Structure 1
Amino acid sequence: MTTPMLKFISVAQKQPEKRTAQDRRADFNEIYEDFQPVEATEQASRCSQCGVPFCSVHCPLGNNIPDWLMLTANGRLEEAYEISSATNTFPEICGRICPQDRLCEGNCVIEPGFESVTIGAVERYITDTAFENGWVKPTRPVTERAESVGIVGAGPAGLAAAERLRAMGYQVHVYDRYDRVGGLLVYGIPGFKLEKEIVARRHALLVESGVTFHLGQGIGSGADELAFAELRNRHQAVLIATGVYKSREIGGPGAGLVGIERALDYLTASNRRSLGDTLPDDAKALDAAGKNVVVLGGGDTAMDCVRTAIRQGAKSVKCLYRRDKANMPGSAREVKNAEEEGVQFEWLAAPEAFVGDDHVTGVRAIRMKLGMADATGRQSVEALEGSSFTLEADLVIKALGFDPEPLPQLWDAPELGVSRWGTLKVGQDSFMTSLPGVFAAGDIVRGASLVVWAIRDGRDAAERIHTWIKANAPAAAVAEQG
């Protein structure tokens, strides 16, 4: 019997159970419990099956959300997984870390008057169930191709492209300077949002699919690095999907004091500890235990930092952000989780200087007010004269965003075109850089953005690479399926 939809009228929205804030503070495990089958069915049945699904429209991947919600409501989970994975390479990851409140759920048509469908939790449930039942299979191309593609970067954009290119039969090689696959999924995002076994599971599938990984292999002119020119010689096409890792800095008096750290360095050290790695001496100080911590910034990276500091046993954790809560760029859900766990927010406050002799002891800040909207429509901020105050701090973490590294200089490839922001220039539709056969996708093109956009870019870039190789290497042999 078909389960009726449109139950949003009679069934209240329910997210998966959250572990108590006290329990969450004690470890780095994911904070949400799994949906039970009856809960997933019931929540999926709240979908209105609207004629114009704004959830799909506002999903960067264009996921067919109403379709897999209906299938879930009717217990047809294997079909739901097929529909979900048709547009999303990593639905179980997006279900965990996407800011659904700003994307699909935030645009659910039942939201005025009724709370939105819990799309992210159902998405996670579908794919976790698929893995448990063995429905997720390695990619098996119908025909093997002789051409190879080199991908620089084993983050979400590179991995999504690798899976799509492998499905087309290409010999895919992924190069990454780090020792694990996943990029920021492993080293930048804490385990309480994404447990690392989830990423390792996908890595194993890609290896089984025939993707070759070259880990610990940087690109450049160093003794242990692979020259970019050699990389191009090895492959018919190259995709650059390095992401952006250069932390934005802040100036002002005292900005060079010991104890003022970059967010990515801090998060990487924490994640490596959780993974059981031995940290180098210069990273051992990146621990908030017993310290007064001040985090600068208002995005999701800042939320990752404050919530990590809580779990490390910080004496106090404060987040300093120059705008108000309504204007934070990060997920409102993440802010709520942080508040529950004991983080204190200093809204409408910006750092003026850092206090201390050799080591930071405080952050001097000034109160702000919102002014007129600028050209982007966002309200400007203005300092309130005479409103300075000081926050005690033994550890200050700068979570101010990321910029691209200067790849043309690092890779001895001055002909590689970049924008005025330092991102790689690509054709709007082709994904090709200024170098023929060299493509780019993800944050290295669009700037620091969401994982879901990186997945979309990786999938689209794979299609463009396929089109280009077919047009420019027509004599390339096609190997027999082995």
Structure 2
Amino acid sequence: MAEKMLKFVDVPRAMPEKRPPEERRRDFHEIYREFADAKAAEQAARCSQCGVPFCQAHCPLHNNIPDWLKMTAEGRLQEAYELAQLTNTFPEICGRICPQDRLCEGNCVIEQSGHGTVTIGAIEKYITDEAWERGWVRPIAPAAERAGSVGVIGAGPGGLAAADSLRRMGFQVTVYDRYDRPGGLMTYGIPGFKLEKDVVMRRIAQLEQGGVRFVRNCNVGGDGPDDLSFAQIRERHDAVLIATGVYKARDIGGPGAGLPGIVPALEYLTAANRKSFGDEVPAFDSGELNAAGKAVVVIGGGDTAMDCVRTAIRQGAKSVKCLYRRDRANMPGSMREVANAEEEGVEFVWQTAPKGFVGDERVRGVRVIRMRLGEPDVSGRRAPEEIPGSEFTEPADLVIKALGFEPEDLPALWNEPALEVTRWGTIRADHRTHRTAMPGVWAVGDIVRGASLVVWAIRDGREAAEAIAAELEAAERRPAAAE
């Protein structure tokens, strides 16, 4: 064992410096400063180099974390980057937005022994940012070109991961996306204070330089000038991968649910992210999707809700409150994000749920009832129950619904009844190969899993690329065998 490692007893855990709340409330820049070289090496040296690394086992991509930590501690930074990118298509993005507290860091052995986890995510981000800065990240250059053509529908993390893998193998890849910029939720859903947009755009540029073709503003099944049908895309390619994600917002009922001023989370976040690109956003400029000067109430407890409350703070909201029906311990969002939000001035109103909305021409408040936790439900979590007689009104000028997402009805939208879906509306696909019941069609990411993490979509995309490549290679060999 190298002397540089096993420093967790003597060296305390440290994260990169976090900008003060009063400073970060005023902008959309990332809240953590960069590690210095020495600090990154010092923190990497805390790794205990486990024989059975739980961090790696609990990473969906099974990243070889102990080895690239050791390389970082020893100053072998380029080797650390090259090893990290072997298993992760976008390590600079995962280092920023993965919930490490629930995955790799949450299962770190030295964390379990009371010494504080290794700061894996921050080091992963540092390694890849240094790689970009030093020119180690290069355009894709396949060893040989192949005739096989793959169409990818959706330019989110699953689709882009598959496109990257297939292009590296020499296949011709075209990505179709409904938006004017690729990236999916990484571009228009996740705010800049968690993932600055130039980080995503430089990766898109790298894919384009490597030969991946993007068809923007193409809403599959739509009737716009740039839209195509699913059948047309299948005709153009030898294989098609569906990676559309899930964008249909879960709604909320009750009296007054249709009042102006009650908006879906993704609509709100997309407007904010478009403004960061300098786009014209009439709904933002009119104030409809702008929290400035307003009493904001966000309903929900996941990471999207955290994105909304922290965006509202930066837009200059008068107050920001988050209603969640369970307590802090049972919140699905990252605890790190909750802490960041509280530092920035967000108030959490735990164990509360909306019963309706009040207002005339627009929303003026949320009718709220207090909850208590009862017996566990089928998921094992204690089910929230209403407390009779505990209703009150929470004033609100803007209410943001962050209750999660559901799949769109793709068989109907695409006029493809043969596209099989589950009872939840997600596409039915083999969990290993990601093949659907339709010949030559695969599906990955949230449209198969339901709303999930970016890292799982990346894993799905990489696995599907391997399965697609195997089938296209087999098809290439068949004519030769027939001769």
Superposition TM-score, scaled by structure 2 size: 0.97
Aligned to 2:257: 255
| Corresponding position of 1:396 | 399
Contact 1:269-1:283 at 8 Å conserved across structures: no
Distance in 2 (CA, whole Å) between partners of 1:476 and 1:36 is: 56
In 1: Cα distance, 2:280 partner to 2:40 partner: 40
1:429 deviates by 2.3
Deviation at 1:427, TM superposition (A): 1.7
Q: What residue is the counterpart of 1:150 in the other structure?
A: 151
Matches of 2:71 and 2:266, distance apart in 1: 40
Offset from partner CA, 1:17-67 (integer Å, 9 cap, x none): 010000000000000000000100000000000111100000000000000
**Which of these residues, 452, 455, 472, is aligned with residue 455 of structure 2?**
452
Q: Please say if 1:246 is aligned against 2:248.
A: yes
What is the CA–CA distance in structure 1 between the aligned matches of 2:55 and 2:431, rounded to whole Å? Answer: 25
Deviation per residue, 1:455-477 (Å, 9 max, x gap):
00000010011112223453579
CA distance in 2, matches of 1:221, 1:147: 27
1:358-407 deviation line (CA, Å, top 9, x unaligned): 21000111111111112221111111111111110000000000001111
Q: Which runs of 5+ in 1 are unaligned?
A: 478-482
Task: Give the counterpart letter for 1:206 in structure 2.
Answer: L
Q: Deviations over 1:129-167 (max 9, x none)?
A: 111111111121111101110000111001000000001
Aligned residue for 1:110, secondary structure, equals helix
Are 1:269 and 1:279, in contact at CA under 8 Å, matched by a contact in 2? yes
Quote the offset at 1:414 in angstroms.
Answer: 1.0
Separation in 2, partners of 1:12, 1:377: 35
Match of 2:354 among 347, 351, 355: 351
**One-letter code aligned to 1:251:** G
* Residues 1:281 and 1:270: Cα distance change in structure 2 (over 3 Å): closer
Gapped regions of structure 2 (runs ≥ 5): none
Between the aligned partners of 2:281 and 2:320, the Cα distance in structure 1 is 24
Q: How does 1:199-218 map to 2 (within 5 A)?
A: 199-218=200-219
Could you tell me which residue of structure 2 aligns to residue 194 of structure 1?
195
Report SS of the residue matched to 1:456.
helix
- The 1:221/1:361 distance shift into structure 2, 3 A limit, reads closer
Alignment of 1:77-476 (within 5 A): 77-112=77-112, 113-224=114-225, 225-281=227-283, 284=286, 285-475=288-478
CA contact (8 A) 1:155 1:242 kept: yes
- Name the amino acid aligned to 1:245: Y
Q: Residues 250 and 98 from structure 1, CA distance in 2 versus in 1: closer, same or farther, beyond 3 angstroms?
A: same
Q: What amino acid is aligned across from residue 191 of structure 1 in structure 2? A: G
Residue 4 (str. 1) matches residue 7 (str. 2): no
Counterpart of 1:205 in 2: which secondary structure?
helix
- The code of the aligned residue for 2:126 comes to Y
Cα separation, partners in 2 of 1:53 and 1:313, compared to 1, 3 Å: same
Letter in 1 for 2:449: R
Aligned equivalents of 1:473, 1:83: Cα separation in 2: 31
- SS of equivalent to 2:110: coil
Contact 2:432 / 2:463 at 8 angstroms: preserved in 1?
Answer: no
Q: Secondary structure at 2:22's aligned position in 1?
A: helix
Partner of 2:51: 51
Contact 1:3 1:73 (8 Å CA) reproduced: no
Aligned length: 477
Q: TM-score, normalised by structure 1?
A: 0.97
SS at match of 2:81: helix
1:73 aligns with 2:41: no
Q: What residue is the counterpart of 1:480 in the other structure?
A: none
Q: Residues of 2 paired with 1:456 and 1:234: CA distance?
A: 26
Q: CA deviation at 1:437?
A: 0.2
Question: In structure 2, what is the Cα distance between the partners aligned to 1:3 and 1:260?
Answer: 58
TM-superposed deviation, 1:114: 1.0
Distance (whole Å) between structure 2 residues aligned to residue 289 and residue 142 of structure 1: 53
Amino acid at match of 2:7: K
Identity within the alignment, %? 66
Distance 1:178 1:221, change over 3 A: closer
Q: Check whether the contact 1:146–1:476 (CA below 8 A) recurs between aligned residues.
A: no
Letter in 2 for 1:11: V
Kept in 1, the 8 Å contact 2:271–2:284? The answer is no
Q: Shift in Å at residue 281 of structure 1? A: 4.3
Q: Residues 15, 476 of structure 1: CA spacing in aligned structure 2 closer, same or farther, 3 A cutoff?
A: farther
Deviations 1:317-339 (A, max 9, x none): 00000000000000000000000
The SS at the match of 1:351 is: strand
Give the Cα separation in 2 of the matches to 1:376 and 1:328.
14
Bigger CA drift: 292-301 or 373-382? 373-382
Residues 282-336 of structure 1 deviation map (CA, whole Å, 9 limit, x = unaligned): 8741000000000000000000000000000000000000000000000000000
Deviation at 1:428, TM superposition (A): 2.6
8 Å Cα contact 1:293-1:314 kept in structure 2: yes
